[in-house]
């Protein structure tokens, strides 16, 4: 079935432009309710959101649609995406709905669904929801309308869960931490988590007004956190994105700690303690240096396509428990069903406390290699598949791979969201990876005419 609305990570777009409109969201809530009510008499769905101004509108629309389908609704209010996944699971709800566009600016918004297990909703159910959208909206009898309640202690429940993911003996006393909440969904969660664990914290990006989410703050704009850490003489900084499923860190000297660094720290610690449960899943963009470091430890490593959905798919297929992306989307499947920025940061902090070492010292075993990415824009009407299959391009890739040997890697892939071919070359510091990437990009451009 060809999908019209659902992408790899739900539905997302600009508010006011189809399908990110109030009338569509009402119909979407109704369609979801009808599909879930087919298999069960009493259905309950949780709804949470980030801090965008449009969240109020879409929350109300979804609630109305679900109620019209005879489905009960529990409102969580502002809540990180992983918190919604967790609460959907612990409340034994039939599904959870996230209203968020993640790291996008406030003018965008989107919808993502979770299953009763707190995992991505099955493709089959998403397809049934899309099919139901073509049916005329009807309302159940008045005595069967869904009821709506607000879960007042949702934040407290999730705060306690986050704290429970590290050992009870670990406290953060003596650590001075700057938290950047991106003016997003973690603004009222993360400060309580870190304070209650004993850290001295200061805040940036923790005053949402509906319009400032991700604006020059958060994990996609680490310069703000870096400046605050250096100015305040903090031990480290932690930055989340707008919906709290990604995290980046900054050490005391202002060096950025990205998802590959975080993945290495957690993998090394769990491997040394015999708790890794198999290998690690990264993506096509994971730094070659991380793959080499894991290989040196004897830890299996597999690359998935870019996107947390594909990371989780490979974790499930392999029966492994740890994976993530360079962007900071880390999945610790032994404690959480999806990427969780707060939980991932806590795993790193617990390692720091238990080993009594700084982030810089803990990363001594990881030598990331230079990575250069060049985007080649495709003219209208270009066939990216034919370009990727051309003998000239493949010969150029093969020549670079031969030049790099076992000291680097070449990646050529079409963007999933823009008319671009992404050319990436990475290799050890003595190699001219930038020159190599430029040469390959020039070959791709030549084939485009």
49 Rama sector, left if φ>0, alpha if ψ -120 to 50, beta otherwise: beta
Look at residue 76 and give its three-state secondary structure.
Answer: strand
Closest CA to 132 of 24, 14, 17, 18: 24
For residues 372 and 272, give the distance between their C-alpha atoms in angstroms, rounded to a whole number.
32
For residues 258 and 328, give the distance between their C-alpha atoms in angstroms, rounded to a whole number.
6
| Residue 88: exposure state from Cβ atoms within 10 A (0-12, 13-18, ≥19) | buried
For residues 380 and 412, give the distance between their C-alpha atoms in angstroms, rounded to a whole number.
19
Indicate the DSSP class of residue 9: T
For residues 350 and 319, give the distance between their C-alpha atoms in angstroms, rounded to a whole number.
25
Q: Is 100 a catalytic residue?
A: no
Torsion of CA 349, 355, 356, 357, to 10 degrees: -80
Residues whose CB is less than 8 angstroms from the CB of residue 76 and which lie 6 or more positions away in sequence, other chains included: 46, 47, 48, 49, 83, 84, 87, 151, 154
For residue 86 the two structure tokens come to 């967790």
Report whether 295 contacts 303 (CB < 8 A).
Answer: no
Tell me the backbone φ, ψ of residue 106, rounded to 5 degrees.
-60, -25
Side-chain half-sphere exposure of 12, counting CA atoms within 13 A: 16
Q: Which of 100, 102, 326, 344 is catalytic?
A: 102
For residues 264 and 289, give the distance between their C-alpha atoms in angstroms, rounded to a whole number.
10
For residues 110 and 340, give the distance between their C-alpha atoms in angstroms, rounded to a whole number.
18
For residues 34 and 19, give the distance between their C-alpha atoms in angstroms, rounded to a whole number.
19
For residues 73 and 151, give the distance between their C-alpha atoms in angstroms, rounded to a whole number.
10
Residue found by looking up tokens 């190599």 in the block: 436
Enumerate the active-site residues.
102
């Amino acid at each position: 079935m060809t999908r019209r609305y659902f992408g790899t990570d739900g539905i997302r777009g600009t508010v006011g432009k189809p399908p990110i409109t109030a009338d569509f969201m009402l119909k979407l809530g109704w369609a979801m309710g009808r599909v879930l009510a087919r298999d069960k008499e009493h259905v309950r769905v949780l709804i949470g959101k980030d801090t965008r101004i449009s969240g109020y509108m879409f929350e109300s629309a979804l609630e109305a649609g679900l109620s019209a389908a005879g489905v009960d609704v529990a409102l969580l209010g502002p809540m990180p995406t992983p918190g919604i996944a967790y609460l959907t699971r612990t409340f034994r709800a039939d599904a959870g709905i996230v209203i968020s566009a993640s790291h996008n600016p406030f003018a965008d918004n989107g919808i993502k669904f979770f299953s009763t297990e707190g995992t991505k909703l099955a493709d089959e159910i998403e397809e049934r929801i899309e099919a139901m959208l073509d049916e005329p909206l009807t309302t159940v009898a008045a005595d069967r309308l869904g009821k709506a309640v607000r879960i007042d202690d949702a934040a407290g429940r999730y705060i306690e869960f986050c704290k429970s993911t590290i050992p009870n003996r670990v406290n953060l006393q003596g650590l001075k931490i700057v938290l950047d909440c991106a003016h997003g969904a973690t603004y009222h969660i993360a400060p309580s988590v870190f304070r209650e664990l004993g850290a001295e914290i200061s805040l940036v990006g923790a005053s949402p007004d509906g319009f400032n989410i991700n604006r020059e703050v958060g994990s996609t704009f680490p310069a703000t956190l870096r400046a605050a850490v250096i100015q305040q003489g903090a031990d480290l900084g932690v930055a989340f994105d707008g919906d709290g499923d990604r995290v980046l860190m900054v050490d005391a000297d202002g060096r950025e700690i990205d998802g590959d660094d975080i993945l290495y720290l957690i993998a090394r610690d769990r491997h040394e303690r015999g708790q890794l449960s198999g290998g690690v899943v990264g993506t096509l963009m994971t730094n070659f240096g991380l793959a080499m470091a894991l290989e040196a430890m004897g830890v299996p490593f597999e690359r998935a396509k870019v996107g947390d959905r594909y990371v989780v798919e490979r974790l499930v297929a392999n029966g492994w428990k740890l994976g993530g992306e360079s962007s900071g989307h880390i999945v610790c499947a032994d404690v959480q069903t999806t990427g969780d920025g707060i939980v991932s940061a806590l795993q790193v902090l617990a390692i720091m406390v238990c080993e009594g070492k700084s982030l810089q010292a803990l990363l001594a075993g990881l030598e990331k290699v230079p990575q250069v990415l060049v985007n080649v824009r495709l003219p209208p009407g270009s066939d990216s598949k034919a370009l990727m299959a051309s003998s000239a391009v493949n010969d150029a890739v093969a020549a670079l791979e031969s030049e790099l040997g076992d000291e680097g890697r070449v990646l050529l892939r079409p963007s999933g969201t823009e008319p671009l071919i992404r050319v990436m070359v990475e290799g050890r510091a003595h190699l001219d990876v930038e020159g190599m990437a430029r040469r390959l990009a020039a070959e791709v451009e030549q084939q485009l005419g």
